[in-house]
């Protein structure tokens, strides 16, 4: 009886001293990392639940909870998650006043998580930390029937070992995804038959795609023997004067492509590059190529986060899918849109959502719009010093607009 009363005290009411003694707690999960928000409303809190596993690798899962109105009872916070996510099963006691067990089954991720079962009392022992993230302080816990969760709170449930009341934080914290969200966004690819410019010779071939923040371009690469991604990047850079790479202390620092004189695609400030081979994260520049490979280098600013995971001692890791349409580059030519000087032509607004005003001091009477392949997209009559041009039928993308010998880059973004 003493043990049962003591353990129920943990489940219903955990003081600050108890939290310090029994201790385990997870780092606060940022709201920005949450993939699946349950409920609806303007108030938001995060709930994480950590389960022990047989191999000793404790796994946590985190959800977001939304609601309107006043602060929400802790019991209702937990019921809201379970109502939206059937993978989480909450076993309440008969009076709905404390939790006997929490379990989570995710067949897609291969997870079957449950608390440490106490055969004597036929339940598992759970406690929670409760943090006010705005004040950066822990709150006194009064139990699920007494605690009210406030907007921006972080609630951290952890299972306790019934033999010694020990507990441990998550070694891995994953973000619950929406089980009803439908298929995951698809990684954009481009077929080898659509490639316009091939570098190298040989019976083997691979496609290189580079996804900058607002542009995705592709090259073809032919080779014999054993080649790495580093070989492919260097060979393309040697053949295409528009393309270059920059190396840093940790490997590839940047990928650059000259779209026009004075205008070069490069990664965003503080960004980085990650690489995939046939849709799976690879070894980067050291990856060995196989005939038919599709190698993509992406800047996360252009990607969509589909998963985020916290690893103890390492930090957060994010999985991106790059859905942007990929355009094949044309072969470089001695005279092309890239050799036109940028002078005395003004275009605004730029980026444009529908129309632009072309302002020129010259006497040319036609403006020519080129795409990234150097193909003419449209020609517009220039009748005044300032001429408005309708771009409503022009697809989103990066273009070059030329007036006589003068040009400038134009971004169309409807």
Which CATH number does the domain housing residue 362 bear? 2.60.40.3080
Pick from 295, 328, 361: which residue ends a domain? 328
Which strand (E) or helix (H) includes residue 380? strand 376-381
Whether residues 88 and 208 fall in one domain: no
Residues in CB range of 326: below 8 A, 6 or more apart: 188, 189, 190, 209, 211, 216, 217, 218
Query: Poorest-confidence range of 18-22, 179-183, 404-408?
Result: 18-22
Number of domains into which the chain is organized: 3
Q: Residue 405 — very low, low, confident or very high, per pLDDT cuts 50/70/90? A: low
Q: Residue 10 — very low, low, confident or very high, per pLDDT cuts 50/70/90? A: very low
The number of angstroms, rounded, from the C-alpha of 263 to the middle of its chain's C-alpha atoms is: 27
**Average pLDDT, rounded, for the chain:** 85
Q: Is residue 184 part of a domain?
A: no
Whether residues 165 and 198 fall in one domain: no
Radius of gyration of the chain measured on its C-alpha atoms: 29
Q: Is residue 315 part of a domain?
A: no
Q: Is residue 397 part of a domain?
A: yes
Name beta bridge partners: 209. Answer: 218, 296
Q: What is the DSSP letter of 173?
A: E
Whether residues 299 and 267 fall in one domain: yes
Range of the domain at 206: 192-303+320-328
Q: Residue 9 — very low, low, confident or very high, per pLDDT cuts 50/70/90? A: very low
Q: What is the pLDDT of residue 371?
A: 77
Q: What is the pLDDT of residue 225?
A: 95
Q: Is residue 399 part of a domain?
A: yes
Whether residues 288 and 256 fall in one domain: yes
d(CA 259, CA 5): 72
Whether residues 79 and 199 fall in one domain: no
Over residues 224-233, mean pLDDT: 96
Write the pLDDT tens digit of every residue in 28-62: 999 998 999 999 999 999 999 999 988 778 999 99
Is residue 372 within 8 A of residue 259, CB to CB? The reply is: yes
Q: Residue 166 — very low, low, confident or very high, per pLDDT cuts 50/70/90? A: confident
Write the pLDDT tens digit of every residue in 242-263: 899 998 888 899 999 988 767 8
Write the pLDDT tens digit of every residue in 257-296: 988 767 899 999 989 999 999 999 999 999 999 999 999 9
Q: What is the pLDDT of residue 361?
A: 67
Q: Residue 299 — very low, low, confident or very high, per pLDDT cuts 50/70/90? A: very high
Any idea what the Cα angle at residue 346 is, between residues 342 and 352, rounded to 5°?
110
Is residue 250 within 8 A of residue 237, CB to CB? The reply is: no
Structure tokens at 345: 């032509």
d(CA 257, CA 202): 25
Whether residues 48 and 115 fall in one domain: yes
Q: What is the DSSP letter of 35?
A: -
Pick from 118, 149, 175: which residue ends a domain? 175
Whether residues 228 and 359 fall in one domain: no
Q: Is residue 80 part of a domain?
A: yes
Whether residues 153 and 270 fall in one domain: no
Whether residues 297 and 232 fall in one domain: yes
Whether residues 199 and 165 fall in one domain: no
Write the pLDDT tens digit of every residue in 304-363: 988 877 787 777 788 899 999 999 998 875 434 454 444 457 888 988 888 999 887 666
Whether residues 240 and 105 fall in one domain: no
d(CA 252, CA 255): 8
Whether residues 324 and 348 fall in one domain: no
Pick from 149, 175, 201: which residue ends a domain? 175
């Amino acid at each position: 009886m003493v043990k049962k009363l003591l353990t129920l005290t943990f489940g219903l009411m955990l003081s600050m001293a108890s939290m310090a003694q029994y201790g385990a707690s997870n780092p606060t999960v940022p709201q920005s990392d949450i993939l699946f928000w349950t409920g609806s409303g303007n108030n938001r809190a995060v709930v994480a639940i950590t389960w022990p596993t047989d191999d000793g690798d404790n796994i946590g899962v985190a959800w977001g909870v939304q609601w309107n109105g006043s602060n929400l009872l802790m019991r209702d916070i937990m019921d809201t998650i379970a109502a939206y996510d059937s993978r989480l099963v909450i076993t309440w006691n008969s009076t709905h006043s404390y939790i006997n067990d929490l379990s989570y089954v995710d067949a897609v991720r291969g997870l079957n998580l449950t608390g440490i079962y106490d055969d004597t009392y036929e339940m598992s022992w759970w406690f929670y930390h409760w943090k006010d993230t705005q004040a950066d302080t822990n709150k006194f816990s009064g139990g699920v029937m007494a605690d009210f969760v406030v907007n921006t709170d972080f609630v951290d449930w952890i299972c306790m070992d019934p033999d010694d009341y020990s507990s441990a934080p998550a070694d891995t914290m994953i973000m619950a995804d929406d089980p009803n969200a439908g298929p995951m966004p698809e990684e954009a690819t481009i077929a080898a038959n659509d490639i316009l410019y091939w570098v190298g010779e040989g019976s083997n071939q691979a496609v290189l795609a580079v996804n900058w923040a607002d542009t995705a371009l592709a090259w073809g690469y032919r080779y014999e023997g054993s080649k790495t991604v580093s070989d492919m990047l260097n060979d393309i850079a040697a053949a295409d004067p528009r393309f270059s790479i920059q190396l840093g202390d940790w490997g590839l620092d940047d990928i650059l492509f000259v779209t026009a004189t004075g205008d070069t695609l490069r990664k965003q400030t503080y960004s980085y590059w990650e690489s995939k081979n046939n849709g799976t994260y690879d070894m980067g520049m050291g990856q060995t190529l196989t005939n038919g490979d599709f190698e993509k280098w992406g800047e996360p600013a252009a990607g969509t986060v589909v998963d985020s995971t916290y690893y103890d001692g390492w930090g957060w890791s994010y999985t991106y899918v790059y859905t942007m349409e990929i355009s094949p580059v044309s072969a470089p030519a001695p005279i092309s849109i890239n050799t036109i000087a940028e002078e005395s032509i003004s275009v605004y607004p730029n980026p444009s959502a529908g129309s632009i005003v072309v302002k020129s001091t010259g006497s040319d009477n036609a403006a020519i719009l080129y795409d990234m392949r150097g193909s003419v997209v449209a020609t517009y009559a220039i009748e005044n010093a300032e001429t408005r041009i309708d771009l409503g039928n022009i697809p989103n993308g990066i273009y070059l607009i030329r007036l006589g010998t003068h040009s400038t880059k134009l971004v169309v973004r409807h």
